[in-house]
A and B are shown apart, each in its own frame.
Chain A
Amino acid sequence: MQTSGLLNTYFVDPHTWDEMYDQDRIREQYRHVVNYMQQLSLEELNRKEELARRLFMSQGITFTVYNSGEGIEKIFPFDIIPRIITAAEWSHIEKGIKQRLKALNLFLKDVYHNQFILKDGVVPIDMIYSCPHYLREMYQFPVPYDIYVHIAGIDLIRDADGSFYILEDNLRTPSGVSYMLENREITKRIFPDLLPLNNVRGVSQYPNILHNNLVSLSPRQISNPTIVLLTPGVYNSAYFEHSTLARLMGVELVEGRDLVVDNHRVYMKTTKGLQQVDVIYRRVDDDFLDPLTFNPNSVLGVSGIMSAYRKGNVAIVNAVGNGVADDKAIYCYVPAMIRYYLNEEPILKNVPTYRLDNPDHRDYVFKNITNMVVKKTNESGGYGMLMGNAATEEEIINYQAQIVNDPRQFIAQPVISLSSAPCYMQGKLQPRRVDLRPYALCGPNGIEIVPGGLTRVALREGSLVVNSSQGGGSKDTWVLEG
């Protein structure tokens, strides 16, 4: 049989950690996958790629781009070769995220109650009060079980020496978990028998764990509380994820217009009249949640929902006001929080971060701008970012003017050479940069992290930006049994 000779074209950048290659040797965890792929001809590989595309399309795992009045369905690009994480790597990641999440939940409780960490000067007070996501509406409000972050999607990257760093904490409404689940289903179809051969740990328990956590938050002590997932609607790019999660958990998927608040209780409008809602897993941002409290122009939210929340008649997941903890300027203080609240050393390192409201930091960053990534503290999804190594002279000058204008809104980090993983593209195996987003669930019984996550890929050669809004794709992520 003619084999594809796939590995002959795979050239790794020597200054980058490659997930598959250790110099010229294939890492142990990739052995089975490489063997399997080498037995396939190019036609077979192309057929598998096509099969994956068709499966996504037919299941409607798509997002719609509205162009000249007509919706065009696109699939989030998927690379067929899995990203593999060993048991040892995973156990390190798991410990590190649990530790970090624990500290972040304590921080949110503190910052909305006694504010010890501010009084002790560990986090400067003006950092909190200048953060637009610090919501006074949440001050002195006791959330159930002191849990603010029920679902976290903390992003990790890997430097040239292979060590993991935390890139950012997503503590508001992190998305992408449906791709973790669906990518695995697709892998089952395109690489039959390969999952058991590699002892890959399953991810399908995620919806059950989440559902159990949601049930436990119900303010009414009843056997069958009403749980809903609040979506902005079919035009939201993550709508597929919302309906998938609702289906997998067996809960009602609602829009703001399906809900109504009466006497500080939330109800949904059903064919049998109004039915009281106990727990809301919302995928609507804080600002749009309640037009009476936040943005008055919002039509996605529910009027009066915050009053019901503050009365304790409904639980909202994630809690409102979490943005203060995943602000990119607060990010620099998370290691200090871990030491302050837990008296432990951080297991997972932060990427070195320069705060641009500090004049010394700013001078340093401006001098070394070509080796820096500058980000806005309140943006996500890869928007409003300056990649110093790729920007033009003019872009840099304009950006610097913006920074001087309002330095609190910016942070800078050295350009980190993300690790690369093999991708099958245009009939060739090629290295592309990846990151990793595991999903952590925090309930009354502690934190659980499903062994897996979303691996995002920068599909353009040499690119370091993996966000889907910037042309990123995804991979199935395997965590191996130890």
Chain B
Amino acid sequence: MLSRVADSLYWMGRYMERSDGILRMLKVNYAYSQDDVYEFSWKPVLKLFTYLDNEQASALAKSPRAILKYVVTDKENPNAVVNIVARARENARSVQDHITKELWQCLNDYYHTTKEDWLAQWLQKDDPITILDVLIKQGLLYYGTADITMSRGEGYSFMNIGKYLERAILSADILSVRFTEGDYDINADTDPNYWRYLLLSISGYELYLKTYRSGFEARNVVEQVVLNPHFPRSIIYSLERLQRYFSGIKNENTPGDFDELEFMIGKLLSRIKYSRAETLIQQNLFQFLSEAKNDMYEIANCLTRHYFAYT
């Protein structure tokens, strides 16, 4: 496979995962903002998904509709959903002969949907959750089409490497966003709504209830989001998938490149696998997550160096 093609498939996977993450986060936070006017703050969302500085974020944080506009349809915002979907689609466009026609059409339809005028209007006037659901469903259609129609070859592996790497980074981001608020103390946290909405936004609420049954404890949330191998958005699940799809592109021509990455992924995975939620919290969770994220960025760089560099 051409390096340029592998690069495009990888980024298509990453952008699609990111758009899905942002939309789910927005949907749940919007619901939260209707629920709990005093406790709720839009700041974590803005910190995670925009490049705004503190002052700009504070100004925007007062108006949910302005935030929806900025994060979903504002073309000036490089990380807006419209722009991310457009980038995923541009990547797909340049590799149309490597994805199925169904997948291309699905992504192309998604792109055209994000461009519709009614979308931006309804997001301002109507029930935003309906609109966010329209977009989330387009994303689901993409996942399903990829699953059903794509052949399990090298291209599919690169798409999934991008997807799971992005998901692992996203989950680490979501979990660590609270710690960036100055003197936050996880042991003193008694805000059950925060944790509940966090879990809801990554579709982990029901699993949490089934696993722990009791109320919200930071320890349990950390355990589920970092260490539960059956939770499809946990860091460990994403990294295990990453490892699996990466082993699919092994071949005899480039053993050195493969070994280096295999080592990096394996090392990060075992560091996470053989830790406990209690220890993570005691030994500074924020630092742990930051280091894990740095390792993931390093994996991304290494992929670019060994597999995608073509210029």
Contacts and interface: CB of A to CB of B under 8 A. Distances in A.
B310 A257 contact: yes
A253 interface: yes
B35 interface: no
B93 A258 contact: no
Contact of A257 (B112, B253, B307, B311): B311
Given A58-B108, A60-B104, A234-B94, A272 B253 contact: yes
A94 B99 CA distance: 36
Nearest to B249: A271
Contact of B105 (A59, A73, A251, A270): A59
Contacts of A273: 253-254
27 contacts: A58-B112, A59-B101, A59-B104, A59-B105, A59-B108, A60-B93, A60-B96, A60-B105, A73-B112, A234-B94, A243-B93, A243-B96, A246-B96, A247-B96, A252-B2, A253-B95, A253-B96, A253-B97, A258-B2, A258-B3, A268-B2, A269-B310, A270-B3, A271-B249, A271-B307, A273-B253, A273-B254
A58 B6 CA distance: 24
Top 5 A-B pairs, shortest CB-CB distance: A243-B96, A247-B97, A246-B97, A272-B253, A60-B108
Contact of B254 (A60, A70, A234, A272): A272
Interface string A53-73: 000011110000000001001
A65 to B, nearest CB: 14
A254 interface: yes
- How extensive is the interface on chain A, given as a class? 20 to 34
Contacts of A243: 93, 96-97
Contacts of A58: 105, 108-109, 112
- How extensive is the interface on chain B, given as a class? 20 to 34
B173 interface: no
A233 B95 CA distance: 11
A247 B101 contact: yes
A75 B253 CA distance: 43
Contacts of B108: 58-60
Interface in B69-103: 75, 90, 93-97, 101
B3 A234 contact: no
A255 interface: yes
Interface of B: 1-4, 6, 75, 90, 93-97, 101, 104-105, 108-109, 112, 154, 249, 251, 253-254, 307-308, 310-311
Contacts of A233: 94
Interface string A227-247: 000000110000100011011
Contacts of B101: 59, 247
A243 B92 CA distance: 11
Contacts of A269: 2-4, 310
B268 to A, nearest CB: 22
A312 to B, nearest CB: 25
Contacts of A247: 96-97, 101
Given A73-B112, A247-B96, A270-B3, 8 more contacts: A58-B105, A244-B96, A246-B96, A253-B95, A253-B96, A254-B2, A258-B3, A271-B154
Contacts of B249: 271
A269 B310 CA distance: 7
Given A57-B112, A247-B97, A253-B97, A270 B104 contact: no
A234 B105 contact: no
Interface string A266-287: 0011111100000000000000
Interface in A123-175: none
Contacts of B96: 60, 243-244, 246-247, 253
Contacts of B4: 255, 257-258, 269
A385 B154 CA distance: 50
